[in-house]
Amino acid sequence: MGYSMWILLLVLSFARFAWATGDLVRLYEWSPGNTLAPIILPVKSGETPQQAATRYMRELQRQPELMELFEGRTPDLALSGFKPLNENSRESRALLIANLPKDYGMNSQRVINFKKIFSQSRQSSFILPMNANLGLSLEETRDLFKQISEKFPFMVAMGGDDVEPTLYKKQNTHSRNTIPTRDQFEIQLIKSYVAQEKGFLLGVCRGSQISAVALGYQLMQDVPFHVGEKVSHGNDWHEIQVHKTKHNLLGSLVPNAEGKLVVNSLHHQAVIYKENGPLQLAAQGHDGVTEATEFKNGRGLLLQFHPELMGNELGSKILWRIVQQKNVVMPSRCSKIFAL
């Protein structure tokens, strides 16, 4: 299928979101008292928030893949602390997509760090639970995605497990801990968010990879196997070469003329970059591995490294730069993201 046809199909597939004249679900903040940030809970028409939370937990128990991830135990969350999402504070919201059990508790270092840095830039953090559409119909899921795009100008796809290879049309040769149910939900959410062009998407490590898959890219399933170990991509730090891009989100932070940054590395997979797609190559390792890509419309940055875990000035500057870019008002045209 040609690239132009792929663009058309993606745009048409999400044009249907515009049909709704009323909300099929309402978004509530759920603060049970033992999470780092409020959980975003979709409440169906006719449901109370307590019923919606009970539905989510019940449906979660019926998902073998997800329950294996949770080691057979659903999150211990009190059925209290509900309030409607404030309609008047859209511009200061950041939505973190949960993909690991620890994201529901008080000990997720990445959530702690994201929340701390975002709060310094006056952004309120929220958590979207895994497969937040459990128990929703297809139309209700579409409405959930539409409302997320409308009410959250900033969304973060965080690090985590490998992406299911069949979702980018490959057999599993080196991928680990894959959960197709979770990955399918995230891919559909990201596709919707990107297609509607109402917010900024940050992808970190797995988040970069699954966002790229949602946009039609494939992944290198094991970096050491495919390119060797010239650069250590495991639990280490290494230098990357930053490239100039249209919006120069990462390049604007390079302190030297050589265009180099030193970043952390906690991965064994990577995005396979291709020309003529919606992304622009922003950084590579010395072994050629993709380390960062930027959306050509300036509405997204995908990083293979973890700025929230760097613990230094550069990590904070990257996240501050993203918040600045999030606030840039850009024309809303479905074709804009694909402009060369």
DSSP 224-276: HHHH-SSS--SSEEEEEEE---SS-TTGGG--STT-EEEEEE--S-EEE--TT
The CATH code of the domain that includes 214 is 3.40.50.880
Among residues 265, 316, 299, 286, the alpha carbon closest in space to that of 159 is found at 265
Q: Does the pLDDT of residue 157 top 60, yes or no?
A: yes
- Tally the domains of the chain: 1
| Span of 182-196, 224-238, 300-314 with lowest mean pLDDT | 224-238
DSSP, collapsed to helix, strand or coil, labels residue 339 as coil
Q: Does the pLDDT of residue 101 top 80, yes or no?
A: yes
Q: How many other CB atoms are there within 10 angstroms of residue 229's CB atom? A: 11
- Find the mean pLDDT for residues 132-158: 97
> What is the pLDDT at residue 196?
94
> What is the pLDDT at residue 20?
39
Are 66 and 133 contacting, i.e. CB atoms less than 8 angstroms apart?
Answer: no
More confident residue, 12 or 130: 130
Q: Does the pLDDT of residue 225 top 90, yes or no?
A: no
Q: How many other CB atoms are there within 10 angstroms of residue 99's CB atom? A: 25
> What is the pLDDT at residue 339?
41
Q: Does the pLDDT of residue 217 top 80, yes or no?
A: yes
> What is the pLDDT at residue 301?
98
Q: Which domain holds residue 90?
A: 3-338
Are 303 and 208 contacting, i.e. CB atoms less than 8 angstroms apart?
Answer: yes
Most confident of 19-23, 184-188, 262-266: 184-188
**10 — pLDDT class (breaks 50, 70, 90):** low
Are 227 and 287 contacting, i.e. CB atoms less than 8 angstroms apart?
Answer: yes
> What is the pLDDT at residue 17?
38
**329 — pLDDT class (breaks 50, 70, 90):** very low
Q: At what angle do helices 180-196 and 138-151 cross, to 10 degrees?
A: 50
Residues 6+ positions from 248 with CB-CB distance below 8 Å:
none
**19 — pLDDT class (breaks 50, 70, 90):** very low
| Span of 119-128, 187-196, 253-262 with lowest mean pLDDT | 253-262
| Span of 14-28, 32-46, 124-138, 286-300 with lowest mean pLDDT | 14-28
Q: Does the pLDDT of residue 337 top 70, yes or no?
A: no
> How far is 316 from 200, CA to CA, in rounded Å?
17
Are 70 and 179 contacting, i.e. CB atoms less than 8 angstroms apart?
Answer: no
Only one residue has tokens 């020309």, namely: 275
> How far is 118 from 303, CA to CA, in rounded Å?
17
CA distances from 284 to 126, 131, 318 (A): 31, 32, 16
**C-alpha 9 chain-centroid distance:** 22
How many CA atoms, within 13 angstroms, populate the side-chain half-sphere of residue 98?
A: 28
> How far is 70 from 73, CA to CA, in rounded Å?
6
Are 215 and 279 contacting, i.e. CB atoms less than 8 angstroms apart?
Answer: yes
More confident residue, 145 or 86: 145
| Number of continuous H segments (helices) and E segments (strands) in the chain | 9, 14
| Span of 30-39, 84-93, 167-176, 314-323 with lowest mean pLDDT | 84-93
> How far is 28 from 38, CA to CA, in rounded Å?
9
- Cβ burial, residue 107 (10 Å; 0-12/13-18/19+): exposed
